[in-house]
Structure 1
Amino acid sequence: MEKQFICGKETKRHIVEALKLVFPGIKFSSRSSYDSVRVSWTDGPLEHDVEKVLNRFQSYTRILDIDDRHEATGYEWKGIVYVGARHLDASRQLSDGRKQALIDYMESWEKTYLDANKPERAAAEMELITQGSLSGITPMDYPDLMRDSYPVIDRRKTNPSKVQAGQALGIGHHLMKSTETCTIIPFPNRRKMAVTMDSLNPDQLLKLNLLAAMQGKDSAEELLIESVKSVDEMFTEYANLLFKKQGGI
């Protein structure tokens, strides 16, 4: 399919349209330049949830090869493949009240709010949301408008027999041409995962999202893919491990 090259302003229009569907009622501020789009907001959805929407509109794929580079592969939108802004950025600000609630809550943690990293702060915020102390925003179910991670293609695999032959001749494998086809890191089947997520009850959904935040996962669905255990089993196992480390058990 032929690609259409567009500027950041046009990319921003697509992103804003998707954000309105995934997070209805949330006020986002968006700015664009020729090759970038920046989305900002206060409180509302967690940053990693909004980043999933931005990942959906990434125009460039990271190629892992002898050299680490990016190629313009584009993104599909309403039947057309576009190559748009290269730099997409999500910036979430916290209101004074929400930030203070996190600071107070994390005083008893091993790391305070100021010392904690993003995943640790997100974990604390998820706990407060679970407890009902803070409001939380759940994305609407639009799997086609969200992508867990930045697109990547891995071409680093080489033919073992050619490498061995090259070593025997004193030739570095990076100087030899490989006939291996590239290995594509597939994106998860969003529709299949949506069915799995829909099978969880509210209590399990909260547990899963809390586990993902505390373990620094890009998404709750990632845990479902990686583990053969149930949500309740994962939560119990992690709770036992966590409180043993803290000396609570």
Structure 2
Amino acid sequence: MEAASKHDASAQGSQFSKGLLQSQELHQYILETSVYPREPEPLKEIRAASDSHPWSCMVSAPDGGQLMALLLKLINAKKTIEIGVFTGYSLLLTALTIPEDGKVTAIDTDRDAYNIGLPIVRKAGVDHKIEFIESPALPVLDKMTEDPKNEGSFDFAFVDADKDNYINYHERLLKLVRVGGLILYDNTLWGGTVAYPDSLVPDTYEFPKIYTSKVKAFNKFLAADPRIQMSQVPVGDGVTVCRRL
């Protein structure tokens, strides 16, 4: 437990960059009071294991993960899909949350990153719930939508992948997720840069300027989409929750 606590403290710096609250102190208060004490130990381990990766900033924010776990339980999700896995934080969270006979279809091009978290997934005893597909997501989704048995068969989807394709993913997921099911999109506030005039958008390591316009366009697209009910939540780097109507 002591090692996990030390990691929580060291992780605060990296997580602050994702937090969009008015102060680091307030974000730290939420993490220490409500998030870290309830975060399962395997998720703490996967955060720690991801620290040495050069793209460790891509790990899902634990406060966003807490919201995700709550939503999975609220809709009794059993069959889910995840686009963008990285080291597997959100994937492990989902596998821990859904029932013993639940299933997660996980799609990512980078198996090496997933292999960092895989021993922890196995140790947690939930690897039997996961089907990992090493591939770009669009070809896999297109193949899935061709099978009528997949239509409306998923309860939940989580997308944390290339922002260029968020709209493309959305169109396909609306065919795969059932009416009343949820689709969550990560990074929809992109470090807060979506609120900046284009001329003032900074170009940072964690939030490349090139994607700010992509995220802004996607946010406008969702806001005008009559096929969903939605809420954009300022946890982590912004999570947009869409309920299929």
Report the TM-score when normalising by structure 2: 0.24
Q: Which is greater in Rg?
A: 1
User: Which of the two has greater helix per residue?
Assistant: 2
